[in-house]
Amino acid sequence: MNLRKHHVAAALAVLALLVIPVVFVPAVAAAEAPDLTLKAAPATIVYGDSARLTARVEVPGALLTLSRRYADAAGFTVVGTATADASGRAAWTLRPSGDVTYRAEFAGDATWAPASAEVVVGVRPRVKLRAGAVKPILEGRRITFSVAVRPLHPGGTVQLQRWSKDGWVLLKELTLNDASTARYTWRADQSGMLAVRANMQPDVDHRSGHSVPWKTEVFDPNNPYGVPSGYAHLIVVDLSQYRLYYHEHGQVVRVFDCVLGRPGLPTPRGHFRIYAKDPNIGGPYGPRRMRYLGAYAIHGTNEPWLLQRYPRNFSHGCTRLSNTNILWLYSRVPVGTRVWNVP
């Protein structure tokens, strides 16, 4: 019995040597990533304009890295760094050339885990439209439109669009040359308000973009200044043409060459009414005078040879006609008749 007890005791001693003590170690919490946001204002720009990127991070004084990736790029490229201020704010002003994704990154530190945020900035092409036409536009006149697009899109297409009751409709599709410009000549086909713009559809690099619409009124050739038909009598003096257009019920009845104000004493622009008619006035006024603004008037002349010159800026601001023409006009125009002096 004693020998058996001795063997059991020895076995227990060996087992005690083989038992490994268990040590409990408290778990260490993983570092949290700080809140990080990135915003762009505006979110969509026109090529050549700038966007303001603003990052806000929960770590004042954090160093932030800004990267970008264009639509056709495989990865991000670092474009700058900034240190967040005491409120955790950092900002960049950038001028991207196409649609781009920006990423702001915080690398982390002893307290905070890394963090990142992204924002997309859309870029529209800058589309310019010009029209080679002298206003007012008459129905049937030709208008030459010129389009320029930046950045360069050689071989790209741009649409000339015309406003209608159904919205913008296609007028002509143009192909841009190597300089990213195009031209098109079109004949105004109907009277009324005309609005035309140049529009580019979106592509892999850019959003859609359009020009500022070009607008004008297209007039019936028999009513080039859009005179309402309700006016029984109306006089239009076109200062650029040195011509007087006499209208009845919206239609041009007679056109006269005229002399206008000399430099320093220009003929006034604007809309007026004849308030007095002076018969048999004589002298520099010729046989008749019709006053519409103070001493400004439409009258004859004692210097008819001035009507043969061009440009005809010789008066003190009045509109001079030949004596034959003022006699004809005077007999048809009552007091109260409207006078439009247009550029």
Residue 318 annotated in active site? yes
Both tokens of 215, joined, read 């607008």
Of the listed 153, 206, 258, 318, which one is catalytic?
318
Give catalytic status of residue 249 as yes or no: no
Strand order in the sheet with 77-83: 44-46, 115-124, 100-106, 63-70, 77-83
Amino acid identity at 1: M
Any long-range contacts for 80-84 (C-beta under 8 Å, 24+ apart)?
82/55, 84/55, 84/56, 84/57, 84/59, 84/60
* Cα-based distances in Å from 217 to 96, 144, 194, 236: 38, 16, 6, 16
Catalytic residue among 153, 233, 247, 299: 299
Tokens 């004692």, residue located: 302
- What is the separation of C-alpha 213 from the centre of its chain, rounded to a whole number of angstroms? 8
- What is the distance between the alpha carbons of residues 299 and 287, in angstroms, rounded to a whole number? 8
Q: What does the DSSP assignment read for 155-197?
A: T-EEEEEEEETTEEEEEEEEE--TTSEEEEEEE--SSEEEEEE
Beta carbons within 8 Å of 129's beta carbon, 6+ residues apart: 145, 146, 147, 196, 197, 198, 211, 212, 213, 214
Cβ 49 vs Cβ 95: under 8 Å = yes
What SS3 class is residue 272? strand
The single residue listed with the structure tokens 């991207």 is 96
Can you give the C-alpha Rg of the chain in angstroms? Answer: 41
- Residue 67 tokens, joined: 């990267």
Catalytic residues: 299, 318
